[in-house]
Structure 1
Amino acid sequence: MTARRWTIGELLNVSALYLKDKGVESPRLTAELLLALQLGLERVALYLRFDQPLQGEEVAGFRELIRRRLLAEPVAYIRGEKEFWSMVFDVGPGVLIPRPETELLVEQVLQIVRQTREHADDRIRILELGTGSGAVAVALATSLPSSEVWATDISSEALAYAGRNVERHGVSERVHLLQGGLWEPVSPLGVRFDFIVSNPPYVASEIYDTLPAGVRDYEPRVALDGGEKGMQVVSQIIEGAPGFLVRGGWLLIEMSPEQTEAALGVVAQQEVYDSARRVEDYTRRYRVVMARRT
């Protein structure tokens, strides 16, 4: 009996329905991304070749990718990359996958720069704590050509990805990668920063086991688990940042919407910040807390 000869369009349609039946999020997009990966094409090119027949080994390879996704492996890990700030970043096991809501950190820094800097070429020193893949550091460095960025992470695996992404986007001369927890790697530098930004671990330990399997079982816990109520690292950053900020420098931290009020309370207790506020993400939920050192 002759095996069925699938076209790109037929395989996409059948796979999307199959993934939907299995409860996979964004089934059509998932099928398109994985088939494009298997065929070495851009996703849009699939629709230009809808009637193209596929070879048996191409179908078999695609089915293996689908199998991995059904085991909850993130699409970004399967593909080895993720888009952030309209750029593509290398990702994989051992590094947190960049999320769209984290772009809010970049947007807010750029907004402050536009509002407060008279000259576009004024030097700006930025520190990112917990850089992961380096997405935020690279986005800031490319958006602010006069900036110099120090990006830290406790994980050597994450810094390996960050190093590749810094090179990939041509900012290695202005993005300095340092290994260590929080202030440890920057304390010896004697540098004060205009901005300190962070997407720290903020998942509460007590709910960690309830996370979706693709997050809980694949992404690094060290980048996610923020201790009791998820506030351990957030509080440490708020308390320690004034010693590393210039006067008038800004601290911006991403966190869970449910934590923003408590974080503003920690900010107020320090008595060294002003202009403290929280900023909504695209879903109209508070996502970033920011404050200026007086």
Structure 2
Amino acid sequence: MIDPQADAWLVEAAGGDIERLQSLRRRVLEGEPAGYVAGLIRFRGLRLKMDRRAFITDSETSLLVDVVLEQGRALQRELHRPPRVLEFGVGAGSLSLALHALEPEWRYTGLDVDAAALELAAENAASHACRLDLLQSDYLDGWPDDRTPPDLVFGDPPWGSREDLYDAGRDAAYYDAMPPASAYPHGGRTAIHDELLRRLRAAGWAARIVLNYGVLPEPLIARSAAPLPQWRLVHPKPGISVLVGEANIAPRP
């Protein structure tokens, strides 16, 4: 059975062609992810191009967008200016574009280690007239030395293992179809989060951090977040955890 949201993407892609719709549905039932079959997704009302260059945005990350909006607006009140927002692991650009649709005056930058994903993000940004600066970067290595650090860093880096799933309908085989290393981290269920937090601390950025930890257990998240001087968890939906913290406590520019 095809998820109703995914089927809506197929219907949109078929454009009224019943034979094409049947063919698309057959491919999904045979195991292909619907976003790749359709060549598009809908995320928070935005139509976005999707293909195998990038991870298919999980619907649950809409909850992460809500938390980022809340924190970004709080920073804007504190700073008396639009915040500089950095998305770590921008992928297809879905999350930053959803934020831009609601807060177009914020300054957005997206980092990703995968050049192909950045190409797709650029295409989606152009289609929505979004000013999204994109940098290829392994963690923070690609951030220019002369650039002012961001006020807010957010993201949904790969987390968990093949047993940590939002629902049974998107099993390990579903995520195996994504680009290599985009679904699960190597080195442990929070390995990428751990290294990102370590590097943010080392960089000395006085940035607020908003990171999705999905369905991971809270004791594991607490160990991951331990290096931060200040952090807390919010649960936009029962069973889903988003970390809100500070990389370093210092005056913001």
Normalising by structure 2, report the TM-score: 0.84
2:215 corresponds to: 257
Task: Determine if the alignment matches structure 1 residue 34 to structure 2 residue 27.
Answer: no
Q: Contact between 1:267 and 1:273, CA under 8 Å: does it hold in 2?
A: no
Aligned counterparts of 1:34 and 1:286: Cα–Cα separation in 2: 28
The Cα shift of 1:170 comes to 0.7
Q: Deviations over 1:161-213 (max 9, x none)?
A: 100111011113xx1101121111115344211101111111337889x9442
Map 1:170-181; keep pairs closer than 5 Å. Answer: 170-172=129-131, 175-181=132-138
Alignment equivalent of 2:117, drawn from 158, 162, 170: 158
Task: Determine if the alignment matches structure 1 residue 66 to structure 2 residue 21.
Answer: no
Task: Determine if the alignment matches structure 1 residue 242 to structure 2 residue 218.
Answer: no
Alignment equivalent of 1:182, drawn from 139, 164, 171: 139
Aligned counterparts of 2:31 and 2:86: Cα–Cα separation in 1: 34
Q: Which protein has the bigger helix share? A: 1
Aligned counterparts of 1:29 and 1:206: Cα–Cα separation in 2: 23
Query: Relative CO higher for 1 or 2, CA cutoff 8 Å, sep ≥ 6?
Result: 2
Alignment equivalent of 1:291, drawn from 242, 245, 248: 245
Aligned counterparts of 2:114 and 2:54: Cα–Cα separation in 1: 8
The Cα shift of 1:231 comes to 1.5
Superposed CA RMSD in Å reads 2.7
Alignment equivalent of 2:173, drawn from 204, 213, 218: 213
Task: After superposing the two structures, state which structure 1 stretch, 194-203 or 141-150, moved more.
Answer: 141-150
Q: Which amino acid aligns with 1:250?
A: R
Q: Which runs of 5+ in 2 are unaligned?
A: none
Aligned counterparts of 1:36 and 1:110: Cα–Cα separation in 2: 29
Map 1:37-186; keep pairs closer than 5 Å. Answer: 37-38=13-14, 40-41=15-16, 58-118=17-77, 122-172=81-131, 175-186=132-143
* Overall identity of the aligned pairs, in %: 20
Q: 1:83 to 1:32 in 2, by over 3 A?
A: closer
Q: Deviations over 1:72-118 (max 9, x none)?
A: 11111111111112212111112111112212222112212333433
Aligned counterparts of 1:265 and 1:161: Cα–Cα separation in 2: 34
Normalising by structure 1, report the TM-score: 0.73
Q: Contact between 2:54 and 2:179, CA under 8 Å: does it hold in 1?
A: yes
Map 1:222-233; keep pairs closer than 5 Å. Answer: 222-233=181-192
